Structure 1
Amino acid sequence: MADEGDVLTDLNMDPAATGNGADNQPVAGIISQYVKDLSVENPNAPACFQWQSAPNIDVQFNIAAEPVSEEVSEVELKIKLTAKADEGDLYLVELAYCGLIGMRNLPEEHAHAFLYAEAPRILFPFARRVIADATRDLGFQPMMIDPIDFNGLYLQQLQRRADEEAAAMGQAPAGEA
């Protein structure tokens, strides 16, 4: 049985599944999720509600992960949303939406993939709702950000890094010759 206060206790419903009671099964999950930071600006209200030009929308996001303890990490999904019209800025929304992620007995490559692909995929719909509510509360149509393929982006990042490392390895000997 897990110790009291073990944040991952509920993630493995049958700790005796290994036959000897050892807790060595790989497990990962969301412990908690929350808004860490939210900034909402409507710098040209009320004049902007009279503007006729179509807004240009820019959405940027970033993913970060920081260890909290041996088995818990905080994954932060940052989203920056700006809307500008010909007449000026309509709004700016910056959100840091986080989740506490519990992982036990996962190989490093699986843990990394969970932190940077799967956890953001799980957190995204909740962050999307916060953004939609914020833009609606600013007096505009709710901004429904299109779904993001975090797994595909994660694989692209891994490939890009592998290509960069291979290029660096290939260039180092040529520079020494």
Structure 2
Amino acid sequence: MTDAAPAPTAPTGAEVNAQVAAPGFRILAQYVRDLSFENPRAPESLRVEAKPAIDLGVEMNAQGRPDGLFEVDLKLSIKATTDQNAVFAVELVYGGLFALQGVQEHDIEPLLLTECPRYLFPYAREIISRATADGGFYPPFMLDPIDFASIYAQRKQQIGGTAGSGQA
């Protein structure tokens, strides 16, 4: 007589439902909503010898749709200057269409404003890099990774602090 491992069994209906109901999201579409690149002093701006100062703006916005899906926009604004002279400016609004499944209502906002932008960011970063390269800048501008959870937490804290200070 040999010791044999038990034969695998098919998942029960409850196990299948648990797998389907696990919280998560799917990216249904990604798109450039708006893109602007300015190189106002070309070709002189291409000969910049000093490292330009970079002013970076990051905004995340999300809204529900009547069909139950969610639109998430990641807005990135980059302005490079040297000695008060503009080198380049890039503004990008990169969006995505997301379907949520099994997400508790109190978890929807943090998911839409932290995880969804995190998945959109690499594509937005590449678009900005290509725009600066096409504008004649070498090396092209590469955004550092962004901590969207930290930005979301700071925004919530500011909103909470503002709301709390107004109640006196």
* TM-score with structure 2 setting the length: 0.80
CA distances 1:157-176 after superposition (whole Å, capped 9, x unpaired): 2233333333333x1xxxxx
Asked if 1:80 corresponds to 2:77, the answer is yes
Q: What corresponds to 2:141 in structure 1?
A: 143
State the alpha-carbon separation in 1 of the partners of residues 39 and 16 from structure 2. Answer: 55
Q: What corresponds to 2:63 in structure 1?
A: 66
* Residue identity (%): 36
**Cα distance, 1:90 vs structure 2:** 1.2
Contact 1:43 1:91 in 2 (8 A): yes
**Cα distance, 1:25 vs structure 2:** 5.1
CA distances 1:132-170 after superposition (whole Å, capped 9, x unpaired): 11111111121111111111222222233333333333x
Q: Which has the larger radius of gyration?
A: 2
CA distances 1:94-123 after superposition (whole Å, capped 9, x unpaired): 100001011134222211111111101111
* Alignment match of 2:127 (pick from 124, 127, 130): 130
Q: What corresponds to 1:118 in structure 2?
A: 115
Q: What corresponds to 1:104 in structure 2?
A: 101
State the alpha-carbon separation in 1 of the partners of residues 52 and 156 from structure 2. Answer: 34
What are the ranges of 5 or more consecutive residues in structure 1 without an aligned counterpart? 1-13, 172-177
Please give the secondary structure, in 2, of the residue aligned with 1:45: coil
**Cα distance, 1:127 vs structure 2:** 0.6
Contact 1:76 1:99 in 2 (8 A): yes
State the alpha-carbon separation in 2 of the partners of residues 163 and 48 from structure 1. Answer: 42
**Cα distance, 1:75 vs structure 2:** 0.4
Q: What corresponds to 2:161 in structure 1?
A: 163
State the alpha-carbon separation in 1 of the partners of residues 49 and 66 from structure 2. Answer: 51
Distance 1:16 1:42, change over 3 A: same
Distance 1:88 1:162, change over 3 A: closer
Letter in structure 1 aligned against 2:98: I
Alignment RMSD: 2.4
4+ residue stretches of structure 1 with deviation over 4 A?
Answer: none
Distance 1:111 1:139, change over 3 A: same
* Alignment match of 1:35 (pick from 32, 41, 45): 32
Give the total of aligned pairs. Answer: 154
Please give the secondary structure, in 1, of the residue aligned with 2:28: strand
Please give the secondary structure, in 2, of the residue aligned with 1:144: coil
* TM-score with structure 1 setting the length: 0.76
Asked if 1:56 corresponds to 2:62, the answer is no
What are the ranges of 5 or more consecutive residues in structure 2 without an aligned counterpart? 1-12
Please give the secondary structure, in 1, of the residue aligned with 2:40: coil
Distance 1:69 1:52, change over 3 A: same
